[in-house]
């Protein structure tokens, strides 16, 4: 006999999250992940002029705002058949990278680590030091990180005018031409952020972290002097065995991101024990357990629909259930690095699969991987060369925009009829990770990751559940939109 327990609101996730747990014999027998907020962006966009999407769509999300801008710009550029000039491409990379890295930092310091300061861990030898460092709002870390993050985000002031919600990211490139002295200032921001990461987060050079190639090397590196918050986390991860907590499907996807002309810094692909091609024609959204009017079979997003219904038998979330060739997949920094073939990422999932620890380490690894690329992109900017081309859209057209937000794969599918948006469908990273069940009864990635964890019907929720939920860096406002 199982007992049902409804848990919410989960905080320190972006947006609203509730989880229903069926608990039997002290363990989670089944988890049902619910996104309890619906706003209806896909309905709002219908009938709008395509160009207005650059204003409306980023406002889906305050934390993935630029990622949403980038996906819109790509979908519109695809529909118009234009490509931004070199400067526009580099500016788009820099803007997206600034958001993605800031999000990784925010997740680690403000959303994820404060759970280890909780009284649950008062008995652990590391607790006193960790609580002093990471306690929500009063710890030394959040108070040290906010000013460093704000300094880093000054890059957004120069690249995009402001953050969140810029209009600088356009299908034809960037509205913000940069002159040499401004590029110098951006270099200064990056230098300061590098120094922060190397002294505070890693206690090591970024290049040293970026070249760690296995868990054994990571463990050996942890034993070295240098301090830093990653080493503190690794000690906790070993103590609590976070390497064996939170496994989901071990099927990883990435749309790829950071256009480098003839390649992307991180390629697109699929990984399930071995590399495979990502066929986006195989994506379908299933609404069996979501509050939407049934359209029969699961739909490809290019022809998908969004018709909310107040009540529906068997439905428990506003989140649709995207599937790739019928399978549940995981998106995020870990997935991105596994697909990209980073040896540490691949080694971290070898054995116990995806885990809380692997997801967190992959995010910090990306800080070390992407910042040097940003330094390079800055040197490639060419003031005086064009930044933006005009993108004229046909009255009947369609386009797709695929990008990687900090927390994973974000896709936009746009159809234009008679000069207006006929359909605009969005699948966000957390739509993949926190989806409800599908028509075959397959639970979503988080639902799988929670299954089997210890829990009781009446005791306070075990901290492990918080770790698993937040290890995905969920963005619930994007999830349903």
37 or 275: CB nearest another protein: 37
Is the bond into 390 cis (omega within 30 degrees of 0)? no
Contacts (Cβ under 8 Å, ≥6 apart) of 422: 46, 415, 416
Kindly tell me which residue out of 25, 137, 297, 441 binds another protein, with binding defined by CB under 8 A: 137
- Distance, C-alpha 431 to centroid of its chain: 10
Only one of the segments 6-14, 239-247, 294-302, 426-434 lies at the binding site for another protein (rule: CB under 8 A); that segment is 6-14
Contacts (Cβ under 8 Å, ≥6 apart) of 134: 109, 113, 114, 116, 117, 141, 142
Q: Among candidates 116, 138, 130, 93, which has minimal Cα distance to 377? A: 93
369 or 421: CB nearest another protein: 421
165 or 422: CB nearest another protein: 165
Separation of alpha carbons 380 and 376, rounded Å: 7
Kindly tell me which residue out of 26, 81, 125, 147 binds another protein, with binding defined by CB under 8 A: 147
CB 252 within 8 A of CB 471: no
Contact positions with another protein (CB under 8 A) in 290-319: 308, 310
151 or 264: CB nearest another protein: 151
Q: Among candidates 461, 481, 480, which has minimal Cα distance to 11? A: 461
CB 320 within 8 A of CB 285: yes
Kindly tell me which residue out of 23, 31, 60, 237 binds another protein, with binding defined by CB under 8 A: 60
Contact positions with another protein (CB under 8 A) in 414-473: 460-461, 466
Kindly tell me which residue out of 43, 211, 398, 439 binds another protein, with binding defined by CB under 8 A: 43
48 or 272: CB nearest another protein: 48
State yes or no: residue 201 binds another protein (CB under 8 A).
no
Instruction: Write down the least CB distance from residue 429 to another protein, Å.
Output: 15
State yes or no: residue 246 binds another protein (CB under 8 A).
no
Helix (H, G, I), strand (E, B) or coil at 64: coil
Rounded-to-10 torsion of CA 456, 459, 460, 466: -10
Contact positions with another protein (CB under 8 A) in 88-107: 106
Q: Among candidates 344, 374, 379, which has minimal Cα distance to 360? A: 344
Contacts (Cβ under 8 Å, ≥6 apart) of 378: 94, 183, 186, 187, 190
Instruction: Write down the least CB distance from residue 451 to another protein, Å.
Output: 19
Instruction: Write down the least CB distance from residue 419 to another protein, Å.
Output: 11
Neighbours of 343 (CB within 10 A): 13
Q: Among candidates 247, 179, 239, which has minimal Cα distance to 445? A: 247
Instruction: Write down the least CB distance from residue 60 to another protein, Å.
Output: 6
Residue 251 has which token pair?
């099927």
172 or 203: CB nearest another protein: 172
Separation of alpha carbons 371 and 205, rounded Å: 12
- Map residues 364-383 to x or -, x wherever contact with another protein holds by CB under 8 A: -------------------x
Kindly tell me which residue out of 89, 149, 359, 412 binds another protein, with binding defined by CB under 8 A: 149
Only one of the segments 138-146, 238-246, 257-265, 406-414 lies at the binding site for another protein (rule: CB under 8 A); that segment is 138-146
State yes or no: residue 341 binds another protein (CB under 8 A).
no
Contact positions with another protein (CB under 8 A) in 265-284: none
Contact positions with another protein (CB under 8 A) in 173-192: 173-177, 179
Kindly tell me which residue out of 29, 30, 37, 353 binds another protein, with binding defined by CB under 8 A: 37
Instruction: Write down the least CB distance from residue 178 to another protein, Å.
Output: 9
State yes or no: residue 150 binds another protein (CB under 8 A).
yes
Helix (H, G, I), strand (E, B) or coil at 270: strand
72 or 249: CB nearest another protein: 72
177 or 353: CB nearest another protein: 177
Residue 200 has which token pair?
């505070």
């Amino acid at each position: 006999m199982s007992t049902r327990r409804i848990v919410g609101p989960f905080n320190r996730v972006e947006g609203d999250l509730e989880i229903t747990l069926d608990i039997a014999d002290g363990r989670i027998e089944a988890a049902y992940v619910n996104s309890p907020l619906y706003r209806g962006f896909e309905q709002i966009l219908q009938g709008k002029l395509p160009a207005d999407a650059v204003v409306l769509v980023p406002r889906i999300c305050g934390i993935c705002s630029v990622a949403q801008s980038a996906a819109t710009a790509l979908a519109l550029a695809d529909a118009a058949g234009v490509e931004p000039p070199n400067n526009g491409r580099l500016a788009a990379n820099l803007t997206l990278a600034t958001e993605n890295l800031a999000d990784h930092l925010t997740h680690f310091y403000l959303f994820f680590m404060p759970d280890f300061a909780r009284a649950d861990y008062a008995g652990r030898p590391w607790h006193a030091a960790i609580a002093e460092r990471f306690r929500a709002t009063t710890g030394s870390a959040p108070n040290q990180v906010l000013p460093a993050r704000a300094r880093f985000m000054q890059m957004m002031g120069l690249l995009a005018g402001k953050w969140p919600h810029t209009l600088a990211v356009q299908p034809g490139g960037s509205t913000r031409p940069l002159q040499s002295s401004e590029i110098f200032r951006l270099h200064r921001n990056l230098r300061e952020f590098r120094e922060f990461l190397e002294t505070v987060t890693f206690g090591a050079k970024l290049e040293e972290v970026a070249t760690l190639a296995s868990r054994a090397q990571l463990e050996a590196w942890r034993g070295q002097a240098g301090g830093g918050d990653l080493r503190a986390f690794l000690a906790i991860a070993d103590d609590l065995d976070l390497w064996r907590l939170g496994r989901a499907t071990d099927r990883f996807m990435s749309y790829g991101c950071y256009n480098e002309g003839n390649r992307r810094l991180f390629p697109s692909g699929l990984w399930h024990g071995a590399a495979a091609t990502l066929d986006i024609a195989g994506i379908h959204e299933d609404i069996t357990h979501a509050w939407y009017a049934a359209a029969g079979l699961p739909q490809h997003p290019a022809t998908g629909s969004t018709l909310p219904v107040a009540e529906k038998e068997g439905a428990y979330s506003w989140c649709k259930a995207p599937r790739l060739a019928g399978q549940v997949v995981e998106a995020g920094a870990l997935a991105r690095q596994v697909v990209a073939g980073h040896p540490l990422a691949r080694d971290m999932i070898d054995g116990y699969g995806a885990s809380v620890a692997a997801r967190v380490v992959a995010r910090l690894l990306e800080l070390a991987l992407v910042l040097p690329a940003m330094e390079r992109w800055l040197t490639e900017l060419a003031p005086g060369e064009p930044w933006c081309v005009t993108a004229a859209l046909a009255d009947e057209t369609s386009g797709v925009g695929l990008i990687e937000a900090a927390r994973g794969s974000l896709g936009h599918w746009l159809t234009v009829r008679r000069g207006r948006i006929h359909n605009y469908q969005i699948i966000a990273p957390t739509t993949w990770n926190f989806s409800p069940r599908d028509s075959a009864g397959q639970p979503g990635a988080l639902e799988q990751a929670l299954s089997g964890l210890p829990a009781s019907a009446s005791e306070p929720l075990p901290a492990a559940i918080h770790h698993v939920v937040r290890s995905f860096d969920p963005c619930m406002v994007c999830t349903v939109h």
